[in-house]
Amino acid sequence: MRFRVLLDGESAAAGHGADVDADGNGTVVQQRMYQLIRQPGPIRDRRFEIEFLDGGAEAFCFTFG
């Protein structure tokens, strides 16, 4: 199941997590936690978006920090 994440309306680039490429694309392959964003530098307020490109996804847990 494919998904895309955006940070402040753009691809996360250097801030992408281990389960997302630099363009913000990833794939759900099993039920587990996925690292979507790994923000470099000082922490500040950001807008995070996730779009599931295929149907059937369910999200139960988000952690920040």
Q: What is the pLDDT of residue 54?
A: 93
Closest to 35 (Cα-Cα) out of 44, 54, 47, 48 = 48
15-49 per-position pLDDT tens digit: 899 999 999 999 999 989 999 999 888 888 889 99
Q: What is the pLDDT of residue 44?
A: 86
* CA pair distance 16, 37, nearest whole angstrom: 5
* CA pair distance 11, 46, nearest whole angstrom: 13
Residue ranges per domain, the chain? Answer: 1-65
